[in-house]
Amino acid sequence: MNKKYIKQVFFILAMFVLLIIVALLALSIGEINFTPNELITILKSETGIEYTIIHNIRLPRIILGIAVGGALSLSGVILQGVYRNPLVEPYTLGISGGASLGVAITIIFNLNLLFGVFMLPLTGFIGAVIITFLVYVLAVRKNYYNINRMLLIGVMISFMSSSTMMFLMSTTTAENLHSIVFWIMGSLDEPNTLLVKFVLYTSLIGLALSYLLANQLNALRLGESKAKHLGVNTTFTIRALFILASILTGISVSVAGVIGFVGLIIPHLLRMMIGSDNRLLLIASFLGGSIFILISDIIARTIIAPNELPIGVITGMIGGVVFIIVMSRSKMKV
């Protein structure tokens, strides 16, 4: 085993430890802060308002943050590998636009009041699936994938979805408009533990499935023709990876709203740190996305406490600044 690989493995282990530290920090910090000793005592007692805050409010947020951050970052790695473009992110293909449009329609027509709490995530996911299907159908010609065509169609459909949603927002009531805008900016405040567990299990299964295709994803970096010469079934691989990334993004957006920059900045930074081997990059990006979301959520909950900022605002600001700094330094080194 070479030294480079050992360093990369230790890097991933360090990220896992960092994730645990950040999760414990998120459990302790908020409108009410707890010391480590108090945290242990409260969890052992299993009674009182402090236990309710930790167990029923903060812990589900942390689990959802790990799941959503990991899923979005994982989707970014997959799509950047398929398109061989480090600037592609999960929202490029219009998946978030479709989910947002589905949720906007649900809120405007009060469908969530008719069918219960599961209606918003369900219609958000349905919207994402419909957009994914449109991109897939329009991009495939005679069972042949044109990567550039798929990317362009995804961008155009994303613009169309956003424009349609803006039209609906401009014609609805102020109350509905407030609900749509709040959802669009993203939040980890999901009280339904069943949905939280579902997103967590889906993200972990997505990580396992993507890892099974890590070697094929590595081969696609060389181009489709060279990957075929290496024995890769590129049609199946691209289709499977595209569907997997779409499902991960659709579920994340439908439950937590639109949280930008996670699928763009985290895979890009980690690729610069540990290289482009997807056997390591997939795991590292999952952990990195989870860490980034949890840190952003801590800032969103505490920076103007007792009020709370939408997490999408924090990820956008931090991600944008970091990305500009990294790109500026990279340009200087060239």
Q: What is the pLDDT of residue 142?
A: 58
Q: What is the pLDDT of residue 333?
A: 42
For residues 104 and 238, the answer to whether their CB atoms sit within 8 Å is: no
Q: What is the pLDDT of residue 264?
A: 86
232: left (phi over 0), alpha (psi -120 to 50) or beta: beta
Q: What is the pLDDT of residue 334?
A: 38
- Angle at the Cα of 257 (from 252 to 263), degrees rounded to 5? 55
Per-residue pLDDT of the chain (334 residues; tens, 9 = 90+): 567 778 878 888 999 999 999 999 999 988 788 888 888 888 788 777 888 888 888 999 999 999 999 999 999 999 888 888 877 887 777 787 888 888 888 888 887 776 666 787 888 888 888 888 888 788 776 566 677 777 888 888 888 888 888 888 888 888 888 888 877 788 888 878 888 998 999 999 999 999 999 989 888 888 777 888 888 888 888 888 888 988 898 888 888 888 888 888 899 889 888 888 888 999 999 999 999 999 999 998 888 877 788 888 888 888 888 878 877 776 544 3
Please report the DSSP string for 36-88 in residue order. Answer: HHHHHHHHHH--HHHHHIIIIIIHHHHHHHHHHHHHHHHHHHHHHHHHT-TT-
Q: What is the pLDDT of residue 145?
A: 65
Strand segments, DSSP code E, in 131-248 are 140-141, 144-145
What's the predicted TM-score (pTM) here? 0.89
**How many structural domains comprise the chain?**
1
The boundaries of the domain holding residue 245 are: 3-333
Please report the DSSP string for 86-146 in residue order. Answer: TT--GGGGTHHHHHHHHHHHHHHTTHHHHH-TTHHHHHHHHHHHHHHHHHHHHHEETTEE-
Q: What is the pLDDT of residue 174?
A: 83
Q: What is the pLDDT of residue 284?
A: 94
**What CATH number does the domain containing 28 carry?**
1.10.3470.10
Q: Say how far apart CA 144 and CA 147 lie, in whole Å.
A: 10
Q: Say how far apart CA 259 and CA 248 lie, in whole Å.
A: 13
